[in-house]
Structure 1
Amino acid sequence: MTTQVSKMSIIPKIINIFNKMFSNKYLLYTNVGLSVSLSGLGDLMEQKYEIVSGEEKEWNLIRTRNMTLSGTTVGIACHYWYSFLDRTVPGYTVRIVMKKIIVDQLIGSPLCISTFFATLGVLEGVTMEEFIKEIKAKAWRLYVAEWMIWPPCQFLNFYVLSTKYRVLFDNLVSLGYDVYTSRVKHKDYSQGSTDKSVNCD
């Protein structure tokens, strides 16, 4: 009986913490924290697959560090993008939601992809020429994948959820996508390359 009472008393505390995390005061920190955590987890899962499949021999700590840190800038970009989008295109009707999806795919998606590659370019110390070359070789692959994955997911996001939960939903859906993002980022797509990921970190 005491255990049941104890469990019941914990639930309001959890709800209170959750509400604080998604309040205006802490929302930016929550969104960045979610993005950082899942970016790192996505890379860990991808590297585990690469090791098990024989593509890589050992875990690359620097790669995971960089992928995790990239979640900071991407999380900030997503936080402010969704706020801007909801202010610019307000409403929850089907027509408005479809408009938001189109704007999100045409502007928000390239923004986040560019932020991702730019952040990693800085962390890896690549030259501008190398950065542009990588963008041309890899960014379109992520963009095509986003068109396949995100429109139906964003319909739920924009139609059902309020602005403060957008990045949470985004990150929950994108864990699998983060695995793919890590693979695209570290795979060599140059001519004549093998199907091995590149430890460029």
Structure 2
Amino acid sequence: MLLKTLSTLGAITPPKPSPLHPNSTGISPSFARNSISGIGFLGHHRNPLLDAASPVAFGAVSRRVLELEDKCRGFWIANAAFDGGSGGDGGLGGWDANGGSSGGDGSSDDVPSIFQWYSSALDKHPVLTKSITSALLTLIGDLICQLLIEQASKLDLKRTLLFTLLGFGLVGPTLHFWYLSLSNLVTLNGGSGAFLRLLLDQFIFSPIFIGVFLSLLVTLEGRPSQVVPKLKQEWVSSVVANWQLWIPFQFLNFRFVPQQFQVLVANFVALAWNVILSFKAHREVVLK
């Protein structure tokens, strides 16, 4: 009724109904909220009849808009890690990780529900959740390396198991505590903080971690005598490859992604890194 009255007065142009939902107005929550708050149609000009409008009516519309915005909140959170994030180094700020799922058909709820579930798992069991995530991605990385890069005629299941075990027992927990410590150690916000975290991560942590990973993998595979030759052969090239892949990404990760999601986002990029690392870790050692 309020929108119809305003349309009659020429204050707004009524939106066309959505083809998918003929009874809907098609107004986005952000547009409606901005309009009611004075950024939209109320900010363009004043109308005596609008000044006399019932506060109750405006309150009802405002509450409805906020309800719609809350329903969309899950989708915004699902994209927050890539579009600006929350908390952490700046970003939008103020969003938590418990947004509700959007309405409509079941397919529109999938992505928000997944992120909501993952966020809940991170809150309850952060180390275990990140360890399982790392294990799955190291598993996929080694399979891709064997099947697509090395084109092995038969899978080496022992190799895959050990590589996955290190993902679960070493990569996930180590990255969890490292990112947490890094966030507490560097308290600067914005680009300066992200750059400082990047320096510490790539030029102190990464070289050490790669050396430890290669050493443990070779040892678990029953080749402890080849640890030193393996490091001499692969460590430098692995660190350089790590810098080429991770330096651009980690700057964006530290700059925009909330700390609790940094391991998740890093692990998806780590899928490519795991393929590289698996190839280098299992390349035959050339003894000199």
Is TM-score (shorter-chain normalized) higher than 0.5?
Answer: yes
Indicate conservation of the 8 Å contact 2:159/2:221, yes or no. no
Q: 1:15 to 1:76 in 2, by over 3 A?
A: closer
Q: Which AA in structure 2 matches 1:123?
A: L
Structure 1 position 16, deviation (Å): 3.8
1:157 aligned residue (239, 245, 253): 253
2:184 aligned residue (87, 94, 99): 87
Q: How many angstroms apart in 1 are the aligned matches of 2:114 and 2:108?
A: 10
**Residue 170 of structure 1 corresponds to which residue in structure 2?**
266
Whose relative contact order is higher, 1 or 2, with alpha carbons under 8 Å and at least 6 apart? 1
Q: How many angstroms apart in 2 are the aligned matches of 1:175 and 1:145?
A: 14
Indicate conservation of the 8 Å contact 1:31/1:76, yes or no. yes
**Residue 24 of structure 2 corresponds to which residue in structure 1?**
none
Q: How many angstroms apart in 2 are the aligned matches of 1:157 and 1:14?
A: 20
Could you list the runs of 5+ residues in structure 2 that have no partner in the other structure?
A: 1-103
**Residue 38 of structure 1 corresponds to which residue in structure 2?**
137
Indicate conservation of the 8 Å contact 2:229/2:287, yes or no. no
Structure 1 position 20, deviation (Å): 0.9
Q: How does 1:1-201 map to 2 (within 5 A)?
A: 14-23=114-123, 25-50=124-149, 52=151, 56-72=152-168, 73-127=170-224, 129-190=225-286
Q: Which AA in structure 1 matches 2:219?
A: V
Structure 1 position 6, deviation (Å): 5.2
Q: How many angstroms apart in 1 are the aligned matches of 2:241 and 2:111?
A: 39
Structure 1 position 153, deviation (Å): 0.4
Q: Percent identity over the alignment?
A: 29
Q: Which ranges of 4 or more aligned residues in structure 1 deviate by more than 2 Å?
A: 4-16
Flag the structure with higher helix content: 1
Structure 1 position 19, deviation (Å): 2.1
TM-score of the superposed pair, with normalisation by structure 2: 0.59
Q: Which AA in structure 2 matches 1:18?
A: Y
Structure 1 position 122, deviation (Å): 3.3
**Aligned pairs, how many?**
185
